[in-house]
Amino acid sequence: FKTFNDGERLIDKTKVTCVRWVPGSVNQFLCSHHSGNMYLYNDELICTQDRPHYQLFKEGEGFSIYTCKTKTTRNPLYRWSLGDMAINEFAFSPCSKFLAVVSQDGFLRIFNFDTMDLIGSCRSYYGGLICVCWSPDGRYVVCGGEDDLLTIWSFSERRVVARGAGHKSWVTVVAFDPYTTLYGEMDGVVMHNEESYNRNNYNSTERSGKVRNKPPIINSRPNSVVSDGLNATCYRLGSVGQDTLLCLWDLKDDYLRQSYYRPRSSTVVSNVGSDGCPSNNTIAHSSSLSANSTQNCNKSSNHVKDANNSTGPPSALSSNSLTAKLASLNFVDRRGGDKTSDKDHKRSMSLAGRNSSSNLHKKDSRSNNCSSAAEGDVSSPSFGSKSSVGTSQCPRMDECPLLEPLVSKKIGHERLTGLVFREDCIVTACQDGCIHTWCRPGKQAGAALHSSPSPSSAGISQPLAAGGTVV
């Protein structure tokens, strides 16, 4: 048993916001503070009772990393400084290589943990980002925040691909449900450009069988191999908030990929993939995407809605079956032992993508008066006070699909603070100190139908579970 940063709190006086073991390491853990700093500790090193003297180790846009100025290695090994706003949560990618960090300044930052490079970022619509998680295959990062929204960021495209609106207050925990996520047989869009693939240092954990976790790097040559989209991955995501609601969401991989970023002003070109991505620009992205979807669907429109509709039958199929299962959701409050009336949560389950696609059509009529503000942010992620609305980092509300939850259920009287998906149940935690365990719907049937990720990958995705601590 050891303590770190105890006594005089010489390392950081502010409160700890998140602690995680570094995956793949037996003795290192990372600890974030309200001060905006994260510290990497080695639990085999004794914490000396003297104030650490730091020297700059690495610097990048909006962050700097320090190491201790000593002859012998001491704790903390590194200090990651992301400004003076609190770091609220961080999460390692399933492949362990990347670190997603969300802060009170409203930014999600994705780092390569080993090389300490910032490889991507995005911003909340407004307000701090509170929670973050990775999809089990590492392709998406989802965060929730003080804008009451979920923000879904695509690793391969390095941009916000969708938002989710359904909470009535701040979103406190987001977690993928690896057990009900349906993995596609084929990726909808496949043309891994090995060169850029390597350049991105994305070494996905090799998985056999059905799980596809390689991010598609879409290059400008429209020679992509295209599947029929029949088996696109459908992710199940859960979120809880201060509104006491548990929301379940379906994220369909094919839909997220086709929902390309469309700036209001047609003159803004190079927003997408501007940070660190190989030199593709928006046009190339869009055209290859639309080319894919048109080949994919034998339809001659590159309109998002059409693309979405054309994949409609298969999507509808999969989601219908999911909806059916969901309708049988039987929330049992084990603590109290009493069954909650289950008609409440059988509310209308709109297909998430459906409604939102109309969003993109709705209006082009808005003036371009903000496009000039956006231009300044084109080439680099901007940190600090500058608003980056209208860029791929923070699209306007009508530039980005808005998803709705499949299910939204009030499950308590106090704000919710924890959410963990387990194979046989869903666990939620509440500010008042209660932990509730909810039965999964039709568990036996469901388990047979779903292809769940391999045990090892499930294990990797479990750092999420550590987020379920209460009070």
Q: Are strands 78-81 and 87-92 parallel, antiparallel or unpaired?
A: unpaired
DSSP 132-189: EEE-TTSSEEEEEETTSEEEEEETTTTEEEEEEE--SS-EEEEEE-TTTPBPPSS-SE
For the chain, the distance separating the N- and C-terminal CA atoms, rounded to the nearest angstrom, is: 23
* Binding of residue 13 to another protein (CB under 8 A): no
What does the block give as tokens for 55? Answer: 């020297």
Residue in this structure with the two tokens 């954990």, named with its chain if needed:
205
Q: Which stretch binds another protein (CB under 8 A): 132-140, 199-207, 240-248, 253-261?
A: 240-248
Nearer to another protein, 128 or 136 (CB): 128
- Number of residues forming the site for another protein (CB under 8 A): 31
Of 34 and 303, nearer to another protein (C-beta) is: 34
271 vs 281: CA distance, rounded Å? 7
From residue 431 to residue 450, the character string flagging contacts with another protein as x (rule: CB under 8 A) and all else as - is x-------------------
Question: Among positive and negative, which fits the CA dihedral 455, 459, 460, 465?
Answer: positive
Nearer Cβ to another protein (221/386): 386
Q: Report the residue number, 295 or 387, with the smaller CB distance to another protein.
A: 387
List the strands of the sheet with 407-410, edge to edge.
Answer: 171-176, 234-241, 245-252, 407-410
Segment near another protein (CB under 8 A); pick from 2-10, 141-149, 197-205, 313-321: 141-149
- Which 3 state secondary structure label does DSSP give 299? coil
The single residue among 92, 113, 153, 170 that binds another protein, judged by CB under 8 A, is 170
Under the criterion CB under 8 A, does residue 148 sit at the interface with another protein? yes
Interacting residue with another protein among 9, 53, 363, 444 (CB under 8 A): 363
Interface map 85-114 toward another protein (x if CB under 8 A): ---------------------x--------
**Interface pick for another protein out of 56, 225, 317, 397 (rule CB under 8 A):** 397
Check residue 243 for interaction with another protein (CB under 8 A).
yes
Interface with another protein, residue 390, by CB under 8 A = yes
Contact pattern for another protein over residues 61 through 90, marking x by CB under 8 A? ------------------------------
Question: Rule CB under 8 A: is residue 405 a binding residue for another protein?
Answer: no
CB of 374 to another protein, least distance (A): 10
We find the least distance from the C-beta atom of residue 103 to another protein, in angstroms, to be 13
Note whether 147 binds another protein by CB under 8 A.
yes
Q: What share of the chain is helix, strand, coil (3-state, %, to 5)?
A: 20, 30, 50
Compute the CA torsion angle 403, 222, 210, 314 (nearest 10 deg): 50
User: How many Å is the Cα radius of gyration of the chain?
Assistant: 22
Can you tell me the distance from the alpha carbon of 229 to that of 257, in angstroms, rounded to the nearest whole number? Answer: 11
Query: How far apart are CB 394 and another protein at their closest, in Å?
Result: 9
For 253, the enclosing helix (H) or strand (E) is helix 253-258
125 binds another protein (CB under 8 A): yes
Part of the chain binding another protein (CB under 8 A), chosen from 47-55, 227-235, 237-245, 275-283: 237-245
Beta bridge partners of 239: 174, 247
Q: How far is the CB of 34 from another protein (least distance, A)?
A: 8
189 and 297 Cβ atoms separated by less than 8 Å: no
Strands 159-165 and 402-403: parallel
Binding site for another protein (CB under 8 A): 34, 106, 125-128, 146-148, 168-170, 242-244, 363, 365-367, 369-370, 385, 387, 389-390, 396-397, 413-415, 431
